[in-house]
Amino acid sequence: MHSTNSIRSTSGGMPRVVVSSVIRSSHQGESHGGVFLLDIAAGMVEQRVDWDDPAISWEGRGADRGLRGIAFHRGCIYLAASDEIFVYDTDFQLKGSFRNRYLKHCHEISIEGDSLYVTSTGFDSVLQYDLREGAFTEGYAFRFGKLERTRRRLGGRPLPKLGLFDPNSARGPAPGDSTHINNVIARDGALYVSGRGLGHVLALRGDRMESFARIPYGSHNARPFRDGVLMNHTDTDRICFVDRRGNPVRSFPLVHYDADDLLYASLGPDKARQAFGRGLAVLDDLIIGAPHRRQ
């Protein structure tokens, strides 16, 4: 199960959490996961959305087989599918959805003020959507050129080239996945962007991009936290807090389950690997992670 999560509300000092899942071992027409409401204090889990769209694509590993990013705004829950953003009310009733030609293989999303930011991995991009106006307004492409790809292969940590584009124009970037952008955090007027193919958390302010911090390649959900970065360190199956130079400060192992407790345990790691950390939420000093659990 490939999951992401986000805080919904708090009760008795412990939060309730919305968790989305992707079941990669399912077949065409079957459920590919859904959305669950987890009450941590009560130890209760309730499925609220079942993702069984028969039009699910089978292109690429993971591709667009389920729901990924989660965000909240003015009584609405925003859920990212591969090329479409779905809007639910707090009772998980579908209110609508919207698309853009530059949305492909979307992952995490973030909201600040009245702006929604969506990672579009299939275009090396982050798109900005005005929630009041109901329109996409800006596009930011983070792409490696030939020189950056060469430096990356040689073990370097190049910064991508930043390209600004109009998401309502046909003159935006071509499809491509050179940096595997999959996480964005909007905070204090800045965007913090990361991905499996980047050795940095990027900070974007207006049209200026710089490295906020160094991180290991292959990480997920990297975000500013205190005076460093909190992330899923995927290769070691841990949630890690590192300083801005990428040095580990503290880490927490993700749970592993006995093989007898797993379904489809015979599937290879290209389908799913348990404790593959995907999903991270922070509420004050409480850190909530969501690893794969093979289903």
CATH of the domain at 7: 2.120.10.30
Indicate the pTM of the whole model.
Answer: 0.87
The stretch 76-83 carries a mean pLDDT of 91
Domain that holds residue 178: 2-291
Q: Per-residue pLDDT tens for 90-147?
A: 999 989 999 999 999 999 999 999 999 999 999 999 999 999 999 999 999 999 999 9
As a whole number, mean pLDDT of residues 275-292 equals 74
Diameter of the chain measured on Cα atoms: 53
With beta carbons less than 8 A apart as the criterion, state whether 107 and 92 touch.
Answer: no
CA angle 238, 77, 182 (to 5 degrees): 40
For residue 93, give the amino acid letter. Q
Say how many C-beta atoms besides its own lie within 10 A of residue 261's C-beta: 10
193: three-class secondary structure by DSSP: strand
Residues counted in the chain: 295
Instruction: Report the SS3 class of residue 281.
Output: strand
Q: For residue 21, is pLDDT > 80? A: no
Total domain count for the chain? 1
